Amino acid sequence: MIWDEGWLPASWTADLADHLNAIALIVATCLLAAAFGARMFRGRRRGRRPGWTALPGATLQDIHDLRDPLRQMDAIAQSAFECVPLLNREEARLLPILEAAVREVGDGHRLMAQTSLGELIRPSPNLGTTETRRRAFASINSKRLDFAVINRYGYLVLAIEYHGSGHYHKQSFIRDAVKREALRKAGVPTLEVPERFKPADLRADLLGILGKAELARSGT
């Protein structure tokens, strides 16, 4: 039977077309879901993890994309884990000196270790495009500060970088420059500690920087 729309009112024709389009979309979705379910079922019968069978056109990169939590869990299931120290031996020697100096500053300041820079600063929404801000954040998010001092409100007020043995090579220099520039733009001072430091000098430097920061915030 050939459908002739000529005898229908124009408004009915438009409504009918919308309904037919909606029905076609639902049918197509159901067919796709059925095909995907069949592939998952075949994967189960072969002893594979449900949902791991690649859809047509999937690349090897898609199959092994570890953004999928199921694939992450599978990778973890095939490995063993062990605890490792948060700080190396040289950084651990520096930790109590910094802790004591931060306690002396008081006013709710806290010392953090090995903190993600992306958790402490971010690109300002008032400058640049969404894409430039995304790229800027991606450039710092995977980097860490050796030590970070935060105030009572949880804001970063001082970044501390320790330049211990084995620190000086090309990649470390570039990473440090990236962090230093991002921190400068955020208005956060950086205290760089050399391998051979004197505890008294380090304490004086830390107290001096945080004291100046407090004066700047109070406006005195």
Residues in the chain: 220
- Predicted pLDDT at 26: 54
pTM attached to this predicted model = 0.63
* Helix (H) or strand (E) segment spanning residue 139: helix 130-141
DSSP 114: E
Residue 24, pLDDT score: 53
Number of Cβ within a 10 Å radius of residue 118: 16
Contact 135, 178 (CB under 8 A): no
Per residue in 4-27, pLDDT tens? 445 445 554 555 555 555 555 555
Residues whose CB is less than 8 angstroms from the CB of residue 195 and which lie 6 or more positions away in sequence, other chains included = 90, 163, 164, 165, 167
Q: What does the angle CA 100 – CA 177 – CA 111 come to, to the nearest 5 degrees?
A: 20
Residue ranges of the chain that CATH labels 3.40.1350: 89-218
Phi then psi for residue 145, to 5 deg, are -95, 140
163: β partners: 194
Residue 23 pLDDT? 58
For the stretch 100-157, pLDDT in tens is 999 998 889 999 999 999 999 999 998 889 999 999 999 999 899 999 999 999 999 9
User: For residues 62-99, b (16+ Cβ closer than 10 Å) or e, as one string?
Assistant: eeeeeeeeebeeeeeeeeeeeeeeeeeeebeebbebbe
For 89-218, CATH gives 3.40.1350
Q: Quote the pLDDT of residue 172.
A: 74
Picking from 182, 200, 202, the residue whose alpha carbon sits closest to that of residue 192 is 202
Least confident of 71-80, 95-104, 118-127: 71-80
